[in-house]
Each structure stands twice: as C-alpha cells, then as structure tokens.
Structure 1
C-alpha cells in the first residue's frame, strides 16, 4: 500500500472515529429510547463490581430481550469500534495497554457525564464491559492488520 493510500485510510478512520464518539455521547446521554430521562434529583451510582451484571443475568427471563442485550452485550460491542479505530487512525500503532487504558478512560468519561448530568447510572460494571469491548475491537484490528500485511506481502 502506498504512503498516500495509508494516509487516506487513516484520515477515513479519523472521520469514523469522531462520528463514533458523537454517536456514543448521543446514545448514552440524550437518547430517550435507552431511558435517558433527565431531571433526576440525585445521581444513580453502582460501585459494586458485578452487581448489575449478576442482576441482569439472574432476572433475564423477566426482562425484555432488548433490555438484556442492550445492557450486557451492548456495552461490550458499543465500545469495540473504539478499540479498533484508535490504532487504525494513527501512523504509530497503539499498543494493547494504550488501547485498553484509552478505552477505560473514555468509558470513565461517559460514566462521569452520566453522574454529573444525572442521566443513566454511573456503573462500574459498564466500565468493565466497555473496556472488554475495546479489547475485543483491538484484537479484531490486530488480526485484520496481520492478515492485510500478509496479503500485501504476497503480491
């Protein structure tokens, strides 16, 4: 791949990354579909690791499939693009630790905004699930990168 094509690909990844960030903030802080009603008098907080994950798993038969999937699976896969796009948009490849820490910090920012604006719940389980999602995205990026390098070398 030529240097010019690599630069164009990184630029495209940056655009996708910024759009992704905007979408995440919209869905987490503004979307009424996901219970983001404002006007709570107090902030809602869960600081007990695995509390909400256990609750959603135990009561999954009482919940709608959408509620179960959105909370557990959605938190993981909503942050996979972060772990994929972060190394893809830079010339110097980001390492595993940088992507995991970056995903955690971005998730912490989102959770803190929920706390400050009294929208949703500041939940340590979400921090864990979101960080796992970023890790999955990074793993997908790494495999994709290795496959593309192998294909390019064979040409």
Structure 2
C-alpha cells in the first residue's frame, strides 16, 4: 500500500472517529428518543455485575423486544466502531488486550459522566456490554485487515 493510500486511510479513519464520537455523545447524553431528558425522576445506578442483564432477559416479554434490544444489543453495537477504528488511528493499539482495556476505560469514562451529570444511568453491566462491543469491533478490524492484505497481495 502506498504512503498516499495509507495517509488517506488514516484521514478517513479520523473523520469517521470524530463523527462516531459526536453521534455517541448525542445518543448518550442529549437524545430525547433515548430518554435523555432532565425530568424530575430519581437517578438510578447499578453496581452489581449482570443484575440488569439478567433483569432484561428474565422480564423480556414484559419489557418488550425493543427495550431488550436497545439495552443489551445497543450497548454492544455502540462500541463496535470504537474497537474497529482505534487500531486504524494508533498502530500501537493493535493488540487485543489494549483495545479491550481502552474500550473498558472509555466506557467507564462515559458511565462516570452519566453518574456525575445524572443523564442516563451508571451501570456496570453497560461497562461489560460496551467492552464486549469493543472486542467485537477489534475482531472486525482484524477480519477487514486480513481481507485487505490478501486482496492487496493478489493485485501485485
């Protein structure tokens, strides 16, 4: 791959990352559709691992498929781009454990902001699901990179 192509890829990755962060911030802190209003409701938090995940699974019929998907799958899907883009942006982040650790760290930052600002709710299950999403994103990066390398080798 030429230097020019690498540079364009890196610029594209940065643009996608900034767009991703903007959308993530909007949906996590400002979206009325996601229940992010400053109403007079009491603030909830969960410090017990797997408590909310189990609750969503046990009461899936009462809560509805939409709520279950939004909570469980949404938290995973929200961090897949993070796990995919991080190795593109920083070559020293191309190790699985680094991407997983940084996904956890970034998720913890988001949850702490939610705790302090009382928007959304602090939930350790979100940390777990977000970290899984980052790991899945990294696997997606590996697959895409593998395909790109094989396609590039065939052209030469």
Equivalent runs, 1:58-73 vs 2, <5 Å: 58-73=58-73
Match of 1:44 in 2: 44
For 2:60, what is the secondary structure of its paired residue?
Answer: coil
**Residues 16-45 of structure 1: per-residue CA shift (max 9 Å, x gap):** 001101111110111111111225576421
Match of 2:75 in 1: 75
Match of 1:118 in 2: 118
Task: Kindly state the Cα deviation for residue 93 of structure 1 after the two structures are TM-superposed.
Answer: 5.2
Match of 1:4 in 2: 4
Change (3 A) 1:63 1:39: closer
Match of 2:54 in 1: 54
Equivalent runs, 1:102-117 vs 2, <5 Å: 102-117=102-117
Query: Alpha carbon RMSD of aligned pairs, Å?
Result: 1.4
Match of 1:15 in 2: 15
Distance 2:154 2:97 in 1: 31
Distance 1:86 1:77 in 2: 15
Equivalent runs, 1:21-32 vs 2, <5 Å: 21-32=21-32
Distance 2:109 2:102 in 1: 11
Conserved? CA contact 1:43–1:116, under 8 Å: no
Conserved? CA contact 2:80–2:138, under 8 Å: yes
Aligned residues: 155
**Larger relative helix fraction:** 2
TM-score when normalising by structure 1: 0.94
Change (3 A) 1:79 1:152: same
Task: Mark the runs of 5 or more structure 1 residues left unpaired by the alignment.
Answer: none
Change (3 A) 1:68 1:41: closer
For 2:122, what is the secondary structure of its paired residue?
Answer: strand
Task: Mark the runs of 5 or more structure 2 residues left unpaired by the alignment.
Answer: none
Task: Kindly state the Cα deviation for residue 66 of structure 1 after the two structures are TM-superposed.
Answer: 1.6
Considering Cα pairs closer than 8 Å and 6+ residues apart, tell me whether 1 or 2 has the greater RCO: 1
Distance 1:112 1:40 in 2: 20
Match of 1:137 in 2: 137
